[in-house]
Amino acid sequence: MADAPLLRRLNGRPQACDPCRARKVACDHAQPTCSRCEKRKESCVYTISEPRVKKQRLRSPSRVTAPTTSTVTSTNTVTSTINTISPANTSASVGPSVESTSTPSPSIAPGYLGFTSHNAVFEETRNSLSLVHGPALEIEPNPRRPPRTRACLIEMPSHLREMCLFVLRHLPGARDDVMPNKLHCRVDEWMFMVIEDILHTLQQDWGEYLGAREDAQLEEMALCISNNTSRPIRDEHSSAKAWTDQFTGANIRWESIGLIWTYWNGAPGMEASAVNKCLGYCVELVRHFTTANDILLYLCYRRTTIESLVTGDAGLTCWSYAAETVALLTFLGLHVGVDDPNYVPSLCSEQKRRITARVYALDKVLVSFTGRPPLLSHRYFSGPLAIDIDDQDLMAGDAAIKRAMQRLDDNGFRPDGELLGAALIRARVQIALLKGELLEMALASSVKATFERLAEIKTRCEQTYERFPRNLIHRADELDDPNCDVENVYVRILIRLEHLQNLFFAERLSLRLGHVDENRLLVISFEMVCLTLLFWTHQDRFAGVRRDFEWLLMAFAAPGGGILCLELLRPTFRGTHPDCPKLSRSAIIQKLSLLIGFLDWVRPPAPNADLCADCKAVLQGVLDHNLNAPIAVGFQFRSFGHI
């Protein structure tokens, strides 16, 4: 029974046991006895006697059509025969897939339905009926529309056909370096391997077509990719290979093509806007041909971040893309979840957790930058945290995963070893969850901040940061080592800046409530400016994150610089600051002078260039006021007389 398939309701959600449903509490769906029933020593009963097993489409190892029989054994045996199609190696056989002529329409899937939905009431009624009359019958709902037939480029709307051709015309050639910006992409180690497989497939199966780039050949290529895309991706595999095989090799899809554009800057001379245009077209094509899935969510997330590098973080297009990403996240139901003590990670499940955390953290980054209301409140977010586990272990199998889990500390981090991208995601989302509470108090008119709650949040911020492993904590002297790993230094500085930003917001809210002590805010602001200036004074070493400079400037250095300007205009201490020996009036002027140079370096058409110019003008005005102020004559005479 321990290996029994997960029981599911009609809407696809996991089936809870009868006692948990009756008490209306979360069930972990364990079989034969869930953890709650085991703890209460109750009889654990599931009303569905036969689990509804979802069919899996299996790839044939050869590149020819081969029938494959898949047998799944549970309480009863369910047998299904599935024909798998792959494009042939020769140009003569490249073309439409020869499998079933119909696929489910993407619009049929209702997505996640929560407590207030119509479905919840009928589920409760159905469960009550099953308690009275025994197990309910499984009734397959009628489709809302006829099933979608295989793709045909001739019948496809003209704008979609042009999207296909535009994307395929701009695909990389055999000599193009697709992934030069690996510093930006360290969290996606498994995806590098997937993209390399996709690129290999493109050159092996479609190299002749990509060499000529003729429309007729590209249409055949688009037709095969579209037919593959029409088969839904099953996001429930415990095997990493079974999951990735659905969008690699012979099963290459528009999601696969989109993954290339998430990291490739395009051919020489190609504008960044054209790169994001190709990625956006892939998103639209996926939406047309198939249901929503985790890979589509990842494409939407990357489209948002790339757009922020093109038009800026405050632009309407970037904000709209972020809204679409959050909408897809909630449609998939990834914003809700329960920590399962018996959870066994897999590449598929960890990708869900990681992309969920990244979307939530991105929302808080944009809210902090713009001051607009969050698209996803912390009150509606309960996604489990990603685990600090290496992608290589996730792809190696159960034994490697078990060993990796044993290396974790009580906080879910690896206390030693290489700094992994998963650790960065886990740390940032914990900081973002605290930031969500502060942003709510700062932006919501109905939520009142109090000194007590702010003090409690600040304490939690410090405790959260202290629980991070040593390899996530920035050290002031680490850049003194010429051989230091700049990727890791960047990660540690970023985490420190986001932690300081939380404290910055908390101190600002305290001042808004009438707190008169500005010393703590000044020290935090000074450190934020100093850390951001490291990217300017060591810009040759941080060349890999050059595209992040404008955001780092405006998100962290600009607010901190504003507080330093206020200190110059209204001094609160003399000499050296009592809480920070490095902080003095002279140090403030030096840092602001460097900050002006950094801001002046950002010129149009760089994103956020206008914002940087406005900030620079204010800083220059403050320095001019302080450094060019006339000195009293009496003071001059007293000074010379003393000498």
Pairwise CA distance, residues 166 & 60, whole Å: 31
Report the percent of the chain where pLDDT is more than 90. Answer: 62
Identify which has the larger pLDDT, 127 or 254: 254
**pLDDT at position 532:** 98
Pairwise CA distance, residues 463 & 17, whole Å: 38
pLDDT reading at 379 higher than 90: yes
* Assigned domain for 447 exists: yes
* Assigned domain for 21 exists: no
pLDDT reading at 33 higher than 50: yes
Whether residues 478 and 577 share a domain: the answer is no
Whether residues 553 and 455 share a domain: the answer is no
* Assigned domain for 486 exists: yes
Whether residues 509 and 381 share a domain: the answer is yes
**pLDDT at position 111:** 83
Query: Which amino acid is present at 190?
Result: W
Whether residues 171 and 316 share a domain: the answer is yes
**pLDDT at position 48:** 60
Report how many domains make up the chain. 3
**pLDDT at position 135:** 56
pLDDT reading at 559 higher than 90: yes
Last residue of a domain, one of 516, 543, 565: 516
**pLDDT at position 186:** 59
Whether residues 310 and 372 share a domain: the answer is no
Q: Residue 263 corresponds to which tokens in the numbers above?
A: 């990291």
Last residue of a domain, one of 285, 315, 332: 332
- Cβ neighbors of 577 (< 8 A, separation 6 or more) are 519, 522, 523, 583, 584
Q: Residue 545 corresponds to which tokens in the numbers above?
A: 């994150």
94-98, 287-291, 461-465, range with the lowest pLDDT: 94-98
pLDDT reading at 73 higher than 70: no
* Assigned domain for 123 exists: no
Whether residues 277 and 374 share a domain: the answer is no
**pLDDT at position 184:** 55
Report the percent of the chain where pLDDT is more than 70. Answer: 80
Whether residues 589 and 612 share a domain: the answer is yes
* Assigned domain for 129 exists: no
Whether residues 306 and 363 share a domain: the answer is no
- Calculate mean pLDDT across residues 119-146: 60
pLDDT band with cut points at 50, 70 and 90 for residue 103: very low
pLDDT band with cut points at 50, 70 and 90 for residue 31: confident
Instruction: Provide the residue range defining the domain that includes 312.
Output: 86-104+147-332
* Assigned domain for 627 exists: yes
Whether residues 325 and 435 share a domain: the answer is no
Whether residues 431 and 461 share a domain: the answer is yes
* Assigned domain for 39 exists: no
* Assigned domain for 607 exists: yes
pLDDT band with cut points at 50, 70 and 90 for residue 133: low
* pLDDT, the chain, mean: 83
Could you tell me the CA-to-CA distances from 412 to 32, 471, 568 in Å, in that order? Answer: 28, 14, 44
Could you tell me the CA-to-CA distances from 276 to 340, 455, 487 in Å, in that order? Answer: 38, 43, 25
What DSSP line would sit under 164-208, residue for residue?
A: HHHHHHTS--TT------GGGGGGGHHHHHHHHHHHHHHHHHHHH
Pairwise CA distance, residues 212 & 411, whole Å: 54
pLDDT reading at 521 higher than 50: yes
pLDDT band with cut points at 50, 70 and 90 for residue 281: very high
Whether residues 555 and 617 share a domain: the answer is yes
Last residue of a domain, one of 332, 367, 397: 332
Whether residues 379 and 302 share a domain: the answer is no
**pLDDT at position 338:** 85
